[in-house]
Amino acid sequence: MSAVPARIVKELTAIEAGLHSLVNGASEDRFRAAPSPGAWSIGQCIQHLDLTGRAYFPLWNQTISDGWARALFGDGPFRYNPLLRLWLRNMEPPYKLKTRTSAPFQPV
């Protein structure tokens, strides 16, 4: 296993551990209760992340496989274009811009 997949596995393991620490000990009422009107509950946030991951992971895996097959490698560091940097700056905590998600990614 190369360093990149090992790092990704480590990061995903840390995310899973964080998720467990978030929900362990939370009552079902707390898990389902939205903190304020119009906000998502813990469960809805997790469902949104699950829906998003199920939609995008196959695409990312295919893209990565295609890159390996075409020997598209680089050492970095890599720079994002200005528009993507602006989008990332607004989407990462602390959140500066709130947006609505599209229907396929909305929890029920």
Q: Which amino acid is at 94?
A: P
pLDDT at 1: 42
What would the pLDDT profile of 29-74 be if each residue is shown by its tens digit?
A: 999 999 999 899 999 999 999 999 999 999 999 998 999 999 998 8
What would the pLDDT profile of 63-105 be if each residue is shown by its tens digit?
A: 989 999 999 988 888 899 999 999 888 888 887 777 889 999 9
Give the DSSP letter of residue 62: H
pTM beyond 0.85: the answer is: no
